[in-house]
A and B are shown apart, each in its own frame.
Chain A
């Protein structure tokens, strides 16, 4: 193999007739074994290098490898890249790449009229059509008339292109994703150089595979040019991003990184007790690889043991977390309540997915809000914070840790499958810009009482091993402030209220409501969690049309900012859009006794900007 730096693969592109676009959404779709996620991330990295803003969303089946060629086995990766600030992976798709008939069948509905559909003819054989449930070949029956259909014998061309590498026929065919990637690079005026470099590094130990993939991406690029498949090419200029160094990050990666950062800032070893569950597993995968940070990841025998081991670690003075998704949160609820009662710091991450029960493991939803707030026996207040974007998971994880240790309380961090698997540019912070996390351990036996609260309402964190502070905690009600077991009625009333007040006092940390757009007017939109991108973009569109709309995106759902009610009063109507059938709306209605509109979507998919705009306009027009 030659030195990757010794040659330039392709000279600078001299094309002049490219059309400039603000933003493009591409969806790569194929069989789960077709390497669509890899193709998508390669294109994403290239878009990032060029300086586009971007957002991505993988969409994969819960079956690891459903029968090849079936609709159940279709895996897709969507990328939205732009010369402007964008916050979602895009509503409708501009370009659909379909490697087989099933991929076309599943994804065509999201391609807008006039969009490009690029297909591999070799994925539309008789058997492929049958497996996808097509009676007639859609490439030939005119059903794709309203799109710009581009057909290529991708598999066949790939196999021919990689022949010199001498790989097996099976491996040759598997290079077709790189061939396709090469075609897309040409269409958007992107150089395949970085991908070639990546291939050489990645497959360094298998030179034949490296050579084959490299040949495929170059061949795809050249084929797109010489075969004149596309009428034109496109350019998406760089976006005006804030100065800084960026990397592409998914929500789960950011969550893991946030916990490590919190551990460093708090100067406390990180302990994670978790059980693998989709879509939260990646947090465990990420942290398991960071042992050199002193991170202890404990893959427990079940969700309960995951939470319990974390509580045990918190008791012993670690920064402790447990991560899960919906059904796992159900299992953890008794343990979470123990942390409420014992007043130990613990962060419980719930990467929400479609429910109830096993529901739709790989699809997104926001339907665990009420469970996070109330899903425990007794009056059991627990702070709940929700991350709004993939990169925000980093900051939300740090903030959850800060509140947990500074207030001695378990905290629920809600993310969802959409932001957990979705990715966007993350502006890498400098260490000194990270929040401080103050940990104080009790060490004075003369003043120590297990439930003597400080100004924040927090009890002392006295860690086993500290001489003279031997004490007992547990799930039974404790006497204030001695910590002895108590069934005294007045004491239970007092302790219940103290726990409530402690969590309510986190309002000091939460601060006042942040309003984007109008601060008073016709419509206030209140959102939370991963819908931020779509909702804020929708509100921006209405503002651009001169509508009097405000947007409050709640970061902390418990406690709420203390001026939220007054903010609501300044608007004629309130709309609460969420990916459930009205959980935040129910919570806010209960808190404030105020009429508000809900918009609930439970299709396993995020909101589209257009559907939000449409709904908001209907509300605005109704009142006008």
Chain B
């Protein structure tokens, strides 16, 4: 249990470390850092109870800039390391900072398993669709055809959609936000922080050096009204400057239509608690330019967290067998005495 009483009032400043931030000027990472530094003090959790664990990549330098317990680990493994940290001390709120390469390429396996186990980790995956720290190679989320240093004739790998991967792995909380909308980003982070269980946030993040403007076509400040679908629980699934477009059922699929009097009543309402995950899945498959790009919370369904199940078994074992007694354990089984 995380205690929220009697802790001192914290501010953003309390979460800023003494280290100089070394991301490229204009990098999307800055706003994500600022957003988390804004969110953490609001949660009523003592500062020492946060642990921020990252892998390798530009985004993974993140813990050094937060004045919390932090662990900058090895490539792809932050989720596995964070699992151990959370199990060892469930009292901590553990954040994982990863990227498209770290979390979905080298660390793809651990990501799947952390999500299916519902380990209570808040995972932020910075998706800039490129390898930045190694200076510009295609990543598992790079679009096909992207020309990079290792794909001079265009990328021939089909990309993964992080939100779809998270949903397929059974994550309870799945969201997407963007680095240039701090208000949206902080609200999603706050919801993730308060969610019990694996919370996965993909942040569409801009790499100014190696993949500048990767997401601009739809979330640039001018295009975003028309091309981004803001998901709000309990609200109609509409988009456009005047919410003139909406989502309706079309057979088993979902269609985007111009709203008129005839179809207004058929516009779907977003439901993050929809049990089967069908709505979240269908939305996660929306991609620009064919469809608007959904941002916000796709799914938020709480189930017992991994540490609760693990600790529950320990409690059950102790109830059934009593607290472990080493002397009894050593002498258990078939023994004989030599005089």
Contact = CB atoms under 8 A, between A and B. Distances in A.
Interface residues of B, number: 60
Contact of A476 (B72, B92, B322, B336): B72
Interface in A211-254: 241-248
B335 A246 contact: yes
Q: Which of A264, A301, A473 is the most central at the interface, judged by chain B CB atoms within 10 Å of its CB?
A: A301
Contacts of B48: 464-470
B67 A316 contact: no
A370 interface: no
Given A291-B313, A465-B89, A470-B69, A243 B338 contact: yes
Given A243-B339, A465-B49, A469-B48, A316 B326 contact: no
B70 interface: yes
Nearest to B307: A296
Contacts of B21: none
A246 B87 CA distance: 36
Given A296-B88, A317-B88, A465-B92, A338 B80 contact: no
Given A51-B336, A245-B335, A291-B313, A475 B72 contact: yes
Contacts of A464: 48-51, 69, 85, 89, 92
A335 B67 contact: no
B160 interface: no
A238 to B, nearest CB: 8
Contacts of B327: 430-431
Contacts of A293: 323-324, 326, 329
B17 interface: yes
Contacts of B331: 245, 247, 428
A470 B92 contact: no
A313 B87 contact: yes
Given A49-B336, A301-B110, A312-B88, 4 more contacts: A245-B338, A298-B310, A304-B77, A305-B110
B335 A247 contact: yes
Given A245-B331, A312-B83, A317-B88, A334 B336 contact: no
Contacts of B153: none
Interface string B31-46: 0000000000000001
A613 interface: no
B308 interface: no
A318 B336 contact: no
Interface residues of A, number: 69
B74 A312 contact: no
For A273, A292, A301, A317, the residue with the greatest tally of chain B CB atoms inside 10 Å of its CB is A292
A292 B324 contact: yes
Contact of B324 (A290, A428, A431, A463): A290
A213 B212 CA distance: 76
A129 B307 CA distance: 55
B318 interface: yes
Interface string B79-94: 0111111111101100
A431 B325 CA distance: 10
A315 interface: yes
B251 interface: no
B17 A298 contact: no
A160 B87 CA distance: 56
Interface of B: 17, 19, 46-51, 53, 56, 63-64, 67-74, 77, 80-89, 91-92, 109-110, 112-113, 310, 313-314, 316-318, 320-324, 326-327, 329-331, 333-339
Contacts of A474: 63-64, 70-73
Contacts of A348: none
Interface in A316-350: 316-318, 320, 334-335, 337-338, 342
Query: Chain A binding site: helix, strand, loop or mixed by DSSP?
Result: mixed
Contact of B84 (A257, A298, A302, A431): A298
Contact of A48 (B87, B317, B334): B334
A257 B330 contact: yes
A257 B88 contact: no
A490 to B, nearest CB: 20
A467 B46 CA distance: 8
A338 B74 contact: yes
B71 A271 contact: no
A111 interface: no
Contact of A315 (B71, B321, B337): B71
A91 B46 CA distance: 64
Interface string A122-144: 00000000000000000000000
Given A468-B48, A470-B47, A273 B84 contact: yes
A524 B324 CA distance: 45
A484 B19 contact: yes
A316 B74 contact: no
A497 to B, nearest CB: 23
A40 to B, nearest CB: 14
B6 to A, nearest CB: 12
Nearest to A394: B330
Given A318-B88, A470-B47, A308 B73 contact: yes
26 contacts: A45-B334, A48-B336, A246-B338, A248-B334, A271-B87, A291-B314, A292-B314, A292-B323, A293-B326, A295-B314, A298-B84, A301-B110, A301-B112, A305-B113, A316-B84, A430-B327, A431-B326, A431-B327, A464-B49, A465-B92, A470-B48, A471-B69, A471-B70, A472-B64, A472-B70, A475-B72
A309 B326 contact: no
A241 B71 contact: no
Contact of B329 (A257, A301, A302, A471): A257
Given A45-B334, A470-B68, A475-B73, A309 B87 contact: yes
B53 A312 contact: yes
Those 9 A-B pairs whose CB atoms lie nearest each other, nearest first: A312-B84, A474-B72, A293-B324, A309-B84, A308-B80, A316-B88, A312-B81, A291-B317, A464-B69
